[in-house]
Structure 1
Amino acid sequence: MEQELLKIFDDNKKEVGVASRNEVHQIGYWHEVFHCWFVGRENDISYIYLQLRSPVKKDYPGLYDITAAGHLLADENVEDGVREIEEELGVKVNFRELVSLGVIDYIVTRESFIDKEIANVFLFKTNNRLEDFHLQKEEVAGMVKAKFSDFEALWKGKINQIKLSGFFVNEMGEKHLMEETVGKNRFVPHQEIFYQTVIEKIKDQL
């Protein structure tokens, strides 16, 4: 995976070539990614779905993250990113069913890891329930949902913790129900302005 080839861009977002995924994060090249947030409604309450990253992931193991996301390879376009949904979650979605939330650029830097992402962000208004997800265990260890209003309040600094409910998959591949109350430290450290921007864009579509 570290040798996957990605398109790279300069600071003006002009494409300048191709580099391996490892080089992209070591040197800090801008590169394209695909993000898809699932939001559904139950009993007139909107919920946002979050994946629990596998504990064996190199980056941010065991943290909660975007419902489905991944890098766009050098020979892929944005529409190809929809494959991430089926690969990670076992749910087949047509690209035409997605609502574009635009492109959001952001940077996360830690130690020798530089992540400069050009994120193509989408919303999927889902009718799926938690039992419909069949996870790629190498990538995703669980799936949870939170009230969208709580998720918004957390990232706007109005509350310090939110309740998540869902399931995790153990090493034997068995699903176990779970509930957890978490703060921001349990999420992948995307910039707070990134979370806030995505929340506002989703609200515009609900």
Structure 2
Amino acid sequence: MPLIDIFNDRYEHIGIEDKKKAHHAGHWHRTFSALALHPEHQRVYLQKKAPGRYSFDRPDYADITVGGHYHAGETIPEGIREVHEELGLPITHADLHPIGLRQTAVTLAPDYIEREFQHWHLLPLDVDLEAIPFADAEVTGLVELDLSDAIRLADGGTSTVPARYATRTDHGVTYTESTLTRSELVPNYLALDQLYLRLFLAAQRYCAGQRRHLFW
């Protein structure tokens, strides 16, 4: 397990800890997150993670496109490493559009307490689904949605929307047309602060040309 920086609840650095131990003890730490979108086509991409990566049962949700922990000593711009690892794209930090900091705390299992300062970004990509390598073993697939459909799904206006899937198999990557249901979204991101909806609305405003004061 990598070492990560840990903080108090005021985001003041207090030390370094093994990531697994930090979650077990409920230490505050920081993460990098990004929602990828295709501004011209007004599409968003969600991620399917490989099973068995957590100590608790986690269904096959369609998660936010990129997310991971900062290693100990990494600067905020160095979080771009997560995009390289999970999507396999040569993105620089300057390509990101930062949209704010989310401080969140939730107990997902007795040995997995998530207390995080999440640095959120929009990740504009002028590439089609077929051009995203997603070479990391922890990513089993991507889901592409029309942005207006994604908003309706997150808002509860519909329970099912059309979707395109890129799925890794033993023989490569397959591309299929299917649907995504509201029950396949991470429940915590639908409740409380409605993270999915707020991110999708931020993406919509970005596609409309808004760049300043664009917070999730």
Equivalents in 2 of 1:15, 1:188: separation in Å?
29
Amino acid at match of 1:47: R
Equivalent position of 2:12 in the other structure = 14
Question: After the TM superposition, which residues 56-205 of structure 1 pair with which residues of structure 2 at under 5 Å, given as runs?
Answer: 56-58=52-54, 60=58, 62-112=60-110, 113-170=112-169, 172-192=170-190, 193=193, 194-205=195-206
CA 1:72–1:190: 2 relative to 1, 3 Å: farther
Equivalents in 1 of 2:5, 2:87: separation in Å?
25
Amino acid at match of 2:196: Y
Amino acid at match of 2:161: I
Q: What is the TM-score when the length of structure 2 is the normalising length?
A: 0.84
Q: Which runs of 5+ in 2 are unaligned?
A: 208-216
Equivalents in 2 of 1:195, 1:129: separation in Å?
22
Asked whether the 8 Å contact 1:101–1:202 carries over to 2, the reply is no
What is the count of residue pairs matched by the alignment? 201
Q: CA deviation at 1:5?
A: 1.0
Asked whether the 8 Å contact 1:56–1:138 carries over to 2, the reply is no
**Residue 49 of structure 2 is aligned to residue 53 of structure 1:** yes
Amino acid at match of 2:62: Y
Aligned residue for 2:149, secondary structure, equals helix
Q: CA deviation at 1:195?
A: 2.1
The Cα offsets for residues 54-107 of structure 1, whole Å up to 9 and x where unpaired, read as 124236463211111110011101111111111111111011111111111223
Q: What is the TM-score when the length of structure 1 is the normalising length?
A: 0.88
Equivalent position of 2:210 in the other structure = none
Aligned residue for 1:12, secondary structure, equals coil
Q: Which runs of 5+ in 1 are unaligned?
A: none
Amino acid at match of 1:63: Y
Amino acid at match of 2:47: Q
Equivalents in 2 of 1:24, 1:187: separation in Å?
26
Equivalents in 1 of 2:189, 2:39: separation in Å?
27
Equivalents in 2 of 1:24, 1:98: separation in Å?
28
Q: CA deviation at 1:31?
A: 1.1
Equivalents in 2 of 1:190, 1:76: separation in Å?
27
Aligned residue for 2:145, secondary structure, equals strand
Equivalents in 2 of 1:92, 1:106: separation in Å?
30
Equivalents in 2 of 1:136, 1:82: separation in Å?
15
Q: CA deviation at 1:143?
A: 1.4
Asked whether the 8 Å contact 2:87–2:136 carries over to 1, the reply is no
Equivalent position of 2:214 in the other structure = none
Aligned residue for 1:109, secondary structure, equals strand
Identical aligned pairs, as a percentage? 26
CA 1:46–1:33: 2 relative to 1, 3 Å: same
Equivalents in 2 of 1:13, 1:168: separation in Å?
38
Aligned residue for 1:70, secondary structure, equals strand
Equivalents in 2 of 1:136, 1:108: separation in Å?
30
